[in-house]
Amino acid sequence: MSNPIYVAIDTPDLDHAKAMADQVRRHVGGLKLGLEFFVAHGQPGVREMARFGLPIFLDLKLHDIPNTVAKAVQALAPLQPAILTVHAAGGRAMLEGAKAAAAPGTKVVAVTMLTSLDTTDLAATGVVGNAHDQVLRLADLAREAGIDGIVCSGEEVGAVHARWPKGFFVVPGVRMAGGSVGDQKRVVTPRAATDAGASILVIGRPITQADDPDAAARAIVATL
Ligand SMILES: O=C(O)c1cc(=O)[nH]c(=O)n1[C@@H]1O[C@H](COP(=O)(O)O)[C@@H](O)[C@H]1O
Virtual CA dihedral for 198, 104, 43, 8, nearest 10 degrees? 10
ipTM above 0.85, yes or no: yes
What is the pTM (predicted TM-score) of this model?
Answer: 0.97
- CB-based pocket (< 6 A), ligand 1: 8, 10, 34, 59, 85, 111, 114-115, 151, 172-173, 182, 184, 202-206
- At 78-90, the pLDDT tens digits run 999 999 999 999 9
**For residues 168 and 179, what is the distance between their CA atoms, to the nearest angstrom?**
26
Output the furthest CA–CA distance in the chain (Å, rounded).
Answer: 45
CATH of the domain at 64: 3.20.20.70
Positive/negative CA dihedral, 219, 33, 30, 156:
positive
Domain count, the chain: 1
CA distances in angstroms from 173 to 2, 5, 85, 205, listed in the order given: 20, 12, 16, 10
Judging by beta carbons within 10 Å of its beta carbon (0-12, 13-18, 19+), is residue 105 exposed, middle or buried?
Answer: exposed
**Beta-bridge mates of residue 13:** none
Question: Does residue 61 carry a catalytic annotation?
Answer: yes
- At 34-89, the pLDDT tens digits run 999 999 999 999 999 999 999 999 999 999 999 999 999 999 999 999 999 999 99
Residue 172 Cα to ligand 1 midpoint, Å, equals 5
Find the helix or strand (DSSP H, E) in which 123 lies: helix 119-124
* Residue 129 structural domain: 5-223
Residue 155 Cα to ligand 1 midpoint, Å, equals 15
**For residues 73 and 155, what is the distance between their CA atoms, to the nearest angstrom?**
29
